[in-house]
Amino acid sequence: MTDSTHPTGATPTHANRTLFQSLELDMRLLGMIGALVLIAIGFSIATGGNFLTPRNIFNLTVQTVSVAIMATGMVFVIVTRNIDLSVGALLAVCSAVIAMVQTQVLPGYFGLELGSPWIAPLAVLSGLVVGTFIGAFNGLLIGYQAIPAFIVTLGGFLVWRYAGWFLTEGQTIAPLDGTFILLGGAEGTLGEFWSWVVGILASLAAVWGVYSARRNRIKHDFPTKPLWAEYTIGGLFVAAIMGFVAILNAYDVPRGKLRRIFEERGEVLPDGFTQGHGLPISVLILIVVAIVMTIVARKTRLGRYIFATGGNPDAAELSGINTRLLTVKIFAIMGFLCGLSAIVAQARLQAHTTDIGTLDELRVIAAAVIGGTALAGGAGTIYGAILGALIMQSLTSGMGMVGVDSPLQNIVVGAVLVFAVWIDIVYRRKTGDV
């Protein structure tokens, strides 16, 4: 068998292929990237170049994280033909628990004041446990009591937000622990050096992924891309990763903040000294979540069961998959990610507010659907959901920068959601993937 290991880097079967056919790129992914590029260029022109400044890109990535984290979980929920309308409310009640643990429970019952090394870990743990427990409870009602997911989570939409309201008595809770606040990304970053280290490691991992995929294809005698196509894809990955790190490092820490940092160390800020923010810790958390969720989706039995159930629930159950227990697991994962998003959102705001997470359920669902998750079930990607969240946040931030009123922003986002679903339906009809 002759494949792309031919000395010329391409076989006769590749000779007449187009560039896109040779690269074997996902056209839906290209469409999302193209839409994001057009949005960025459009708002950059409208704002006189301010949209694509390092400062705004830094803020945009930090603001995207909490919705993107939940969107990765929503992929699993929608793939199995369910829906979760309670994620914003679940985020709110987790945030309330986290805030009360920091400011009331640990100081009042255990004598741990803000600044104690135990505050942040215990607060984080409380949010994750509460989110996972509530998510599993939703899954029990849906999977074992056969209550439609729409009804269970619609009830949760009301119950959990106001449970959080009563827990905090409707008050904004602040200040929070300084170490905990670092998780929001606005204050906590890796700095320039460690950001470059993470960028280099991520680039090496991307190149290894391309090489490993090619090796597996050759091992199993599957067709492979020409070598130049592999190099091109690997180069694009590296360029995107290192370019992103370079942009974040280009956003300098304000001199006033640098001066305070040097004064706390008993030093004087040198003239002309600058320091970039680098990669926010919250973005690093999102990257870890994306990697873990992608591995779960593609490499584990749980992931295979999720997509098999979404493709044909009856056949999945007849084949021995415990679809009811699977539903509990999926909603428990969703709850865990809501707790994690609550940590990031609260740390970014540096306070628990009564309106935290408002309308996030719509943003999360929209991000997953814009990212290519089929509402009919059985299809969806983690990277697509994250790109969808970034597109949503780019639209919202860009409209805010050009002075568009909030009601009109919601109108545009709603229209974009409907348009994205229509495009997805047309695409699936043309490709036969229905």
User: How many alpha carbons fall within 13 Å on the CB side of residue 230?
Assistant: 19
Query: Tokens 């009360």 belong to which residue?
Result: 100
The mean predicted confidence, pLDDT, of the chain is 86
Task: Please indicate, yes or no, whether residues 75 and 217 belong to a single structural domain of this protein.
Answer: no
Task: Please indicate, yes or no, whether residues 150 and 208 belong to a single structural domain of this protein.
Answer: no
Task: Please indicate, yes or no, whether residues 39 and 109 belong to a single structural domain of this protein.
Answer: yes
Surface-to-core class of residue 32, CB atoms within 10 Å of its CB (0-12 exposed, 13-18 middle, 19+ buried): buried
Task: Please indicate, yes or no, whether residues 32 and 171 belong to a single structural domain of this protein.
Answer: yes
Task: Please indicate, yes or no, whether residues 117 and 233 belong to a single structural domain of this protein.
Answer: no
The whole-number pLDDT of residue 416 equals: 81
pLDDT band at 430 (very low <50, low <70, confident <90, very high): confident
Question: Does residue 294 form part of some domain?
Answer: no
pLDDT at position 233 over 60:
yes
Query: What average pLDDT does this structure show over 308-328?
Result: 88
Mark which of 279, 312, 342 sits at the end of a domain: 279
Mark which of 218, 249, 279 sits at the end of a domain: 279
Contact 32, 387 (CB under 8 A): yes
More confident of the two residues 376 and 373: 373
Range name among 17-21, 106-110, 396-400, 416-420 with the lowest pLDDT average = 17-21
Q: What is the DSSP string of 207-234?
A: HHHHHHHHHHHHHTT-----HHHHHHHH
The whole-number pLDDT of residue 82 equals: 92
Question: Does residue 9 form part of some domain?
Answer: no
Question: Does residue 291 form part of some domain?
Answer: no
Task: Please indicate, yes or no, whether residues 359 and 275 belong to a single structural domain of this protein.
Answer: no
Task: Please indicate, yes or no, whether residues 222 and 335 belong to a single structural domain of this protein.
Answer: no
Task: Quick: pLDDT tens for 245-264.
Answer: 999 999 887 777 777 777 77
Structural domain total, the chain: 2
Task: Please indicate, yes or no, whether residues 175 and 203 belong to a single structural domain of this protein.
Answer: no
The whole-number pLDDT of residue 236 equals: 86
Angle at 349 between CA 339 and CA 394, to 5 degrees: 90
The whole-number pLDDT of residue 154 equals: 94
Backbone dihedral angles phi then psi of residue 79, each to the nearest 5 degrees: -60, -35
Task: Please indicate, yes or no, whether residues 163 and 35 belong to a single structural domain of this protein.
Answer: yes
More confident of the two residues 134 and 373: 134
More confident of the two residues 186 and 399: 399
Two tokens, residue 219: 């091992």
Contact 218, 3 (CB under 8 A): yes
pLDDT band at 380 (very low <50, low <70, confident <90, very high): confident
Task: Quick: pLDDT tens for 162-179.
Answer: 999 999 888 999 888 889
Question: Does residue 6 form part of some domain?
Answer: no
Range name among 12-16, 133-137, 244-248 with the lowest pLDDT average = 12-16
Question: Does residue 312 form part of some domain?
Answer: yes
Report the percentage of the chain scoring pLDDT > 70: 93
Contact 276, 191 (CB under 8 A): yes
Question: Does residue 3 form part of some domain?
Answer: no
Mark which of 279, 312, 335 sits at the end of a domain: 279
Angle at 29 between CA 24 and CA 35, to 5 degrees: 135
CATH (domain of 31): 1.10.3470
Query: Tokens 């929001």 belong to which residue?
Result: 184
Task: Quick: pLDDT tens for 39-84.
Answer: 899 999 998 888 989 999 999 999 999 999 999 999 999 999 999 9
pLDDT at position 11 over 60:
no
Task: Please indicate, yes or no, whether residues 146 and 194 belong to a single structural domain of this protein.
Answer: no
Query: What average pLDDT does this structure show over 328-347?
Result: 95
Q: Which domain holds residue 391?
A: 19-185+301-431
Would the pTM count as exceeding 0.85?
yes
pLDDT at position 145 over 80:
yes
Task: Please indicate, yes or no, whether residues 325 and 261 belong to a single structural domain of this protein.
Answer: no
State the DSSP code for 254: P
Question: Does residue 284 form part of some domain?
Answer: no
pLDDT at position 5 over 50:
no
The whole-number pLDDT of residue 19 equals: 57
pLDDT band at 271 (very low <50, low <70, confident <90, very high): confident
Question: Does residue 88 form part of some domain?
Answer: yes
pLDDT at position 226 over 80:
no
Task: Quick: pLDDT tens for 406-422.
Answer: 888 888 888 887 887 78
Task: Please indicate, yes or no, whether residues 318 and 178 belong to a single structural domain of this protein.
Answer: yes
Backbone dihedral angles phi then psi of residue 31, each to the nearest 5 degrees: -65, -40
Query: What average pLDDT does this structure show over 279-303?
Result: 92
Contact 327, 345 (CB under 8 A): no
The residue among 386, 395, 402 whose CA lies nearest residue 416 is 395
